[in-house]
Amino acid sequence: MIALADYGVGNLFSLCASLKYLGIDTEVTKDPKKIKEAEKIILPGVGAFGDAIKKLEECGLSRVIKEEAKKGKPLLGICLGMQLLFERSLEYGIHSGLGLIEGEVRSIKDDMQKEARAGFKVPHIGWNRLDIDESDPLFKYIKNREYVYYVHSFYAGKCEESVIASSYHGIEITGACRRGSIWGTQFHPEKSGTVGLNILKAFTEV
């Protein structure tokens, strides 16, 4: 069973629909016990970092997710869920993250070169090509430079060692990252058509 962490931050619907479509046994849960029992964990998320990390802590899930991930249970953070895996975020102030992967969440706009600002709008919304590390098991069903769907204004930076996929939008955007059995995708696999479904399928098989 894959536990889909429910800490009151939207977007679970589409993920559930995708996993259901793939025929995967999924449980949406806010129960730490269920997270412990699960074979794998997915940490979703849309919205603002500060609000999300607060909710994750309040419902007691941040501790159990950290513990399970450190034990080696496969974890996939999606979009804001990926950002939460890092040490900190600079979105509306400075917030501490789960600290499972080294790096910080930064503003795309602030980091973009001045010359790039005119040509690349922020938020980074839309379908962008994904340059992947083809050897990563997360990408075993997709090809290099296929399109995935992004919606975000902040991105993971100072995390070169864990980057396994990227897209260009005025700057190199961390598309996906990995540290051991912890994965994160900035894009939304559940919104990236067949390519995205194939990434989710690969995660369920790692």
Residue range at the interface with another protein (CB under 8 A); choices 63-71, 100-108, 136-144, 191-199: 191-199
Size of the site for another protein (CB under 8 A): 39
Q: How many CB atoms lie within 10 A of CB 190?
A: 26
Q: Please, which residues bridge with residue 168 across strands?
A: 172
Q: Are 154 and 148 in contact (CB under 8 A)?
A: no
Q: Please give the structure tokens belonging to residue 1.
A: 């069973």
Residue with token string 């005025």: 170
Nearest distance in Å: CB 127, another protein: 5
Binding mask 39-78 for another protein (x = CB under 8 A): -------xxx--x---------------------------
Helix (H, G, I), strand (E, B) or coil at 125: strand
Q: Nearer to another protein by C-beta: 184 or 189?
A: 189
CA separation, residue 58 to residues 104, 166, 174 (Å) = 22, 32, 28
User: Quick check: 30 binds another protein (CB under 8 A)?
Assistant: no
Of the candidate residues 116, 122, 136, 137, the single one contacting another protein (CB under 8 A) = 122
Rounded distance, CA 171 to CA 117, Å? 10
User: Quick check: 20 binds another protein (CB under 8 A)?
Assistant: yes
Binding mask 135-174 for another protein (x = CB under 8 A): ------------x-xxxxx--------------xx-----
Question: Which three-class secondary structure string do you get for 36-92?
Answer: HHCCEEEECCCCCHHHHHHHHHHCCHHHHHHHHHHCCCCEEEECHHHHCCEEEECCC
User: Quick check: 125 binds another protein (CB under 8 A)?
Assistant: yes
Of the candidate residues 30, 55, 129, 158, the single one contacting another protein (CB under 8 A) = 129
φ/ψ of residue 40, rounded to 5: -145, 160
User: Quick check: 127 binds another protein (CB under 8 A)?
Assistant: yes
* Interface with another protein (CB under 8 A): 10-11, 13-14, 17-18, 20-21, 46-48, 51, 80, 120-129, 147, 149-153, 168-169, 188, 190-194, 196-197
Catalytic residues: 79, 188, 190
